[in-house]
Amino acid sequence: MNDCLFCKIIAGEIPSTKVYEDDSVLAFRDINPQAPVHILVIPKTHIASIADITPENSGVIAHISEVIAHIAREQGLNEGFRVCTNTGAHGCQSVKHLHFHLLGGRQLSERLG
Ligand code: DGP
């Protein structure tokens, strides 16, 4: 996707602070952190949002879950953390490339919505 910000980050056309990378997943620090640890975990394949997950592409979600667990351990988030993926207009998704926010490093608010 030529006009996708996160595809440009994957391609190295826009710099990012990478914390993890493999063949199918990239994780990098959010530019506007909302917690001491705020990392975005994304598939390298362009998928617009979790609403576009199908039986054909859902394998990457299982892998992202493993990656998130790995990063959380590496970042020392032993007291817990939050993972969320904003979806569509009501979900306030601003970048239309599937991404999971990994937030932690402090007591997070109980409020989700
Ligand atoms: P969302 O609102 O869920 O679509 O989250 C998009 C996130 O992406 C938001 O927390 C800020 C982050 N972001 C936007 N542009 C950039 C960028 O150029 N670099 C990095 N590292 N993060 C970005």
CA of 102 to the centre of ligand 1 (A): 12
pLDDT reported for residue 109: 96
CA of 92 to the centre of ligand 1 (A): 12
Would you state the structure tokens that stand for residue 104, as one six-digit string?
């932690």
| Whether pTM exceeds 0.85 | yes
Q: Is 5 helix (H, G, I), strand (E, B) or coil?
A: helix
Over the range 28-41, which residues count as b (16 or more CB within 10 Å of their CB) and which as e? bebeeeebebbbbb
Pocket test for ligand 1, best of 92, 94, 98, 103 (most atoms within 8 A of CB): 94
The reply to whether ligand 1 has any atom less than 6 angstroms from the CB of 31 is: yes
The reply to whether ligand 1 has any atom less than 6 angstroms from the CB of 92 is: yes
* The residue to which tokens 């409020």 are assigned: 111
Judged by phi (left if over 0) then psi (alpha if -120 to 50, else beta), residue 44 lies in alpha
pLDDT reported for residue 6: 98
Q: Which residues of the chain have pLDDT under 50?
A: none
